[in-house]
Structure 1
Amino acid sequence: MRKRVRPAPSFMLWTGGLLAALLVSMAFGVVIGSADLSLRTVFDAILGRLGSGSGVNVLDEHIVVDLRLPRVVGAAVVGAGLAVCGAVLQSLTGNQLADPYILGMSGGAALGASVVLSTGLGLGIMSGGPVVSVAAFIGAMAALLLVFAIAVTRGGALLPGRLILAGVAVGQLAAALSSGLIYFGPHGTAERVMFWSLGSVAGVRWNTLALSAAVTGVTVVVVLFYARTLDTFAFGERAAAGLGTDISRTRWILYALVSLCTAVLVAMSGIIGFVGLVIPHAVRFLVGPLHARVLPLAIVMGALIVVWSDIVARSLLPARELPLGLVTSAIGVPAFIWLLRQKGTE
């Protein structure tokens, strides 16, 4: 019989500490901004919206509840979702460079957004606008279906090597088509597409956040259920099958689920790089390879990193907001190099 994995003290300490840091950071993220608000004002505004009138004016309540709070929660959802999807794809494919966009969905999403922005349908709509988001989601899902159609074998199996190569090919095709739309599009198309592709949660509102949070929540629950199954993939397909893992069924379920989650998150926030690549490696460095520890800690750490990246993006420059993907890349590249050098010394 399999023995239940007991959480290591270091795992409990890291998870508790990062979870506490996440909650504090989210509160700080709601407070900070162009409008000077205190923590007391934030709590009073939330209580006022819940019906416990506390004397906060309507403008402050609108800023806190309708603008900043969904933005901060959206950043946490995006970070958690991308981190857990990256961890799963790295395990399923056996590729340490795998991230949530490896199956060509970032290129497909960018193509969908480019179609809208180059035709004028998305003029005046920021990255969280409904037209651009729907187009990006459709593009991401279309790219994913094409990748599956190319990669699936006659026996219905999804082989990691074929899947990655198909993802690269479809992503390159989508990038070429996007470049064509930008080149032949009206003046300003390149700037609008670039702004969207670099990512932002500035346009996140409760109505758009609800679907993303629900899909991410379902993904997290299912992935945690498969945590011990994912451990078997570390020994190779034959060993995993010998341990009772249904390889084909597991791959189809997890590939489909994490791909859907990634597509929804890309549609809401654009393309935010390095979170799904670096966070799983950082977590494995801290608590080891067991997915019962890697996945929960990756969720918390991913959320924390993106929340702080968003805070930096909107507060570093006084009169201009930086793209979220630019900040995560600036953090992720040095972190990835450091982790690579640390592993090289082991």
Structure 2
Amino acid sequence: MLNVKDILNASYEKNQKIKKSFNLFILGLIILLFISVILSVSFGSLRIKPSVSYSIILNELFGLSLGDAAEVSNISTYNVIWLIRMPRVLLAIVVGAGLAVCGTIMQATVQNPLAEPYILGISSGASLGATFSIMLGLGSFSLFSISSVSFWAFLGALSASILVLVLSSMGNKMSSSKLVLSGTVVSALCTSLSNFIISIASNAEGMQTVKFWTMGSLATAKWQNIGFVILAVTICCLFFLTQGRTLNLMLMGDEASMTLGLNLNLYRKIYMIITSLLTGILVANCGIIGFVGLIIPHISRSIVGSDHKRLIPTSILLGSIFLIWADVFARIIIPNAELSIGIITGLVGAPFFVYILLRKGFGYGDK
């Protein structure tokens, strides 16, 4: 007959095996991310050997000289790899990680498996700000390497987020239902105003710019304008990596958290503010990229379960890898042309999400 000590030892050994398996899984994702970076900078209208790309990156980062010196020192190859494609790949990494972690936090915060980073009307607010800037010609300026369109897009996203938080806080305390409903109302309002501006402004070129911007693009990535995005995503990801216990309690509901003396309403507001600001920064820099913040948390949850201590790092890495390859396909699928990355994420994400929803035994919050 097993005693208490044997049961505890068996439980400890099981937890250690799970922890070891998870660590190996994360290591595999990191290796896959590294391989994806090398391959992604090699693909495009100009095909470059992955070994050459690898050598150029190592040379820039660590001063190591590997491979064929003639190919590595070729100025055209260097410009394509390091000055054009590498900033774009880094932006894809941080945007994918940022959207994935925002989607994970949103789904836990509002306790809704269909929640995504844009649920608070952030994308519509950003679209309104960008449309306002493009169609009405508010000038071309650059503030700390931030373009006028990005500035107005962020301002619109921030305004929409504040309006949603104010509406959902009116009356009784903030709730998940009020957040979703307020986001729907604000989103509809911003969309209507955007369409109104487009209707009264006779600017065909501006309409094409708005169309391309609202479908997302990483084409504007340059070394001088991605530093702030990388810093913001890194800080937010590190913060949410420490919030696993609180996020797990959110899945249990307010009643369970009250017995443990935790004010979930306060944490919910803090998480909403942080995710809103981060989503606004991402949308302002690369437009609206759909489905990443919706499907990546579900894929991660189906692999590692709903424990946010494992779910968040998995979502960060999978989101980065997914967006890297979505950008690659956006660049190479049509010769001598480029698709908006939002088209690729939508074409891949929609059927994959349907598959996840229909997959037998899958349910939100499953362990």
TM-score of the aligned structures, taking structure 1 as reference length: 0.91
Taking a change above 3 Å as real, the CA distance of residues 100 and 121 of structure 1, as seen in their structure-2 partners, is same
Shift of 1:279: 0.8
Q: Structure 1: which 5+ runs fail to align?
A: none
Bigger mean CA deviation after superposition, 262-271 or 5-14: 5-14
For residues 254-265 of structure 1, what are the structure 2 equivalents within 5 Å?
254-265=271-282
**Does residue 307 of structure 2 align to residue 307 of structure 1?**
no
Kindly indicate whether residue 35 of structure 2 is the aligned counterpart of residue 18 of structure 1: no
Instruction: Report the Cα offset of residue 136 of structure 1.
Output: 0.8
**How far apart are residue 41 of structure 1 and its match?**
3.1
Aligned to 2:253: 236
| Contact preservation (8 Å) 2:58, 2:64 | yes
- Quote the Cα distance in structure 2 between the aligned partners of 1:64 and 1:103: 37
Asked if the contact 2:38/2:54 (under 8 Å) is kept, the reply is no
Q: Which runs of 5+ in 2 are unaligned?
A: 1-10
Q: Spell out the pairing of 1:159-198 with structure 2 (5 A cutoff).
A: 159-185=175-201, 186-198=203-215
Query: Which is further off, 182-191 or 265-274?
Result: 182-191
- Per-residue CA deviations over 1:261-289 (Å, capped at 9, x if unaligned) read 11111111110001101111111111111
Is the CA contact (8 Å cut-off) linking 1:49 and 1:61 kept in structure 2? no
2:234 aligned with 1:217: yes
Asked if the contact 1:232–1:243 (Cα under 8 Å) also holds between the matched residues in 2, the reply is no
Quote the offset at 1:49 in angstroms.
Answer: 4.4
Instruction: Report the Cα distance in structure 2 between the residues aligned to 1:51 and 1:216, rounded to whole angstroms.
Output: 24
Q: Matched residue of 1:107: which SS?
A: helix
Match of 1:328 in 2: 345
From the CA coordinates, give the structure whose radius of gyration is larger.
2
Q: State the SS of the aligned residue for 2:41.
A: helix
The equivalent residue for 2:100 is 83
CA distance in 1, matches of 2:76, 2:147: 24
| Pair 293,117 (structure 1): closer, same or farther in 2 beyond 3 Å | same
Q: 1:343 to 1:84 in 2, by over 3 A?
A: farther
CA distance, structure 2, for counterparts of residue 345 and residue 260 of structure 1: 31
Equivalent positions of 1:45-124 (< 5 A) are 45-46=56-57, 49=60, 52=63, 56-121=73-138
What is the root-mean-square deviation in Å for CA atoms of aligned residues?
A: 2.4
Decide whether the 8 Å contact of 2:53 with 2:81 is kept in 1: yes
Runs of 4+ aligned structure 1 residues displaced above 6 Å come to none
- The answer to whether the 8 Å contact 1:313/1:324 transfers is yes
Which amino acid counterpart does residue 99 of structure 1 have in structure 2?
A: E
CA shift in 2, pair 1:208/1:49, >3 Å: same
Amino-acid identity (%): 36
* CA distance, structure 1, for counterparts of residue 186 and residue 223 of structure 2: 33
TM-score (norm 2): 0.86
Distance in 2 of aligned mates of 1:52 and 1:295: 34
Question: Alignment length, in residue pairs?
Answer: 340
* Paired AA for residue 181 in structure 2: L
Q: CA deviation at 1:8?
A: 4.1
Return the alpha-carbon distance in structure 1 between the equivalents of residues 328 and 63 of structure 2.
29
